[in-house]
């Protein structure tokens, strides 16, 4: 493998990027002057340095106060800690946060559960979610907010099954983000109005 192939392999790992696009990225980099690649490489390293993963909700956040383990949302005393929204990934959380239609707390599951795979992938934080529910007595409602795709539905079903005993014991209501989102819609691309409706119509 030459260096073009090697870098293309790296880009191929990006969400939604295929082999052909990955190579286009590499050729694009080669066509730019050396400063561009140097800046890019530096920015990537900077990112790693300034970013921490919250130990409470598992989102990545810019750690201004580098010894903080918990992000600013989890630390926010004005956020409603009786509602917990469970999402797949950072970009979904980011769009809900930006929409300002929700002021509760969040939890990132880390991925969806595949219909075809027998074992739950290790990046799915189901045990962490259970721990959070057990240790957090203020939670009254859990909103499952996965994308409206077969895999999202499957994950919704899976999480409900896994936390069933726990929520029944604590009298926590579990709802799913309403059908205001049309089928196949990715949460991260939803506009404010759609999110607002989806939240209002949760069931």
- 93 near Zn ion (CB under 5 A): no
Instruction: Compare residues 57 and 143 and give the one whose CB is closer to Zn ion.
Output: 57
Sole window of 9-17, 32-40, 51-59, 95-103 interacting with Zn ion (rule: CB under 5 A): 51-59
Instruction: Compare residues 57 and 142 and give the one whose CB is closer to Zn ion.
Output: 57
Please give the size of the binding site for Zn ion, defined by CB under 5 A. Answer: 5
- CA distance between the termini of the chain: 51
Shortest gap between Cβ of 166 and Zn ion (angstroms)?
21
Shortest gap between Cβ of 174 and Zn ion (angstroms)?
21
Task: Report the residue from 8, 22, 52, 56 that binds Zn ion according to the rule CB under 5 A.
Answer: 56
- 86 near Zn ion (CB under 5 A): no
Query: Where would I find the H helices in the chain?
Result: 3-12, 19-31, 34-50, 72-75, 90-99, 126-135, 150-170, 192-200
Instruction: Compare residues 132 and 202 and give the one whose CB is closer to Zn ion.
Output: 132
Pairing of strands 104-108, 141-145: unpaired
- Tell me the residue length of the chain: 203
Q: How far apart are CA 203 and CA 8, in angstroms?
A: 43
Pairing of strands 51-53, 60-62: antiparallel
- 71 near Zn ion (CB under 5 A): yes
Sole window of 31-39, 67-75, 151-159, 170-178 interacting with Zn ion (rule: CB under 5 A): 67-75
Residue 172's Cβ-count burial label (10 Å; 0-12, 13-18, 19+) is middle
Residues found near Zn ion in the complex (CB under 5 A): 54, 56-57, 71, 74
């Amino acid at each position: 493998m030459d260096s073009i192939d090697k870098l293309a392999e790296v880009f191929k790992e990006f969400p939604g990027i295929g082999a052909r696009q990955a190579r286009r990225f590499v050729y694009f980099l080669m066509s730019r002057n050396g400063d561009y690649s140097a800046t890019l490489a530096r920015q990537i390293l900077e990112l790693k340095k300034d970013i921490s993963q919250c130990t409470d909700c598992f989102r990545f956040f810019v750690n201004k106060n580098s010894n903080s383990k918990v992000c600013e949302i989890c630390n926010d005393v004005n956020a409603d800690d009786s509602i917990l929204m469970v999402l797949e990934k950072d970009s979904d959380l980011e769009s809900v946060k930006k929409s300002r239609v929700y002021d509760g707390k969040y939890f990132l599951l880390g991925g969806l559960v595949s219909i075809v795979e027998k074992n739950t992938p290790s990046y799915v934080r189901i045990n962490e979610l259970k721990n959070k529910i057990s240790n957090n007595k203020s939670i009254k409602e859990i909103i499952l907010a996965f994308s409206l795709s077969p895999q999202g539905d499957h994950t919704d079903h899976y999480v409900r099954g896994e936390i069933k005993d726990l929520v029944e014991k604590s009298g926590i209501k579990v709802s799913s983000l309403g059908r205001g989102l049309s089928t196949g819609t990715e949460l991260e691309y939803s506009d404010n109005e759609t999110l607002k409706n989806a939240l209002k119509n949760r069931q």
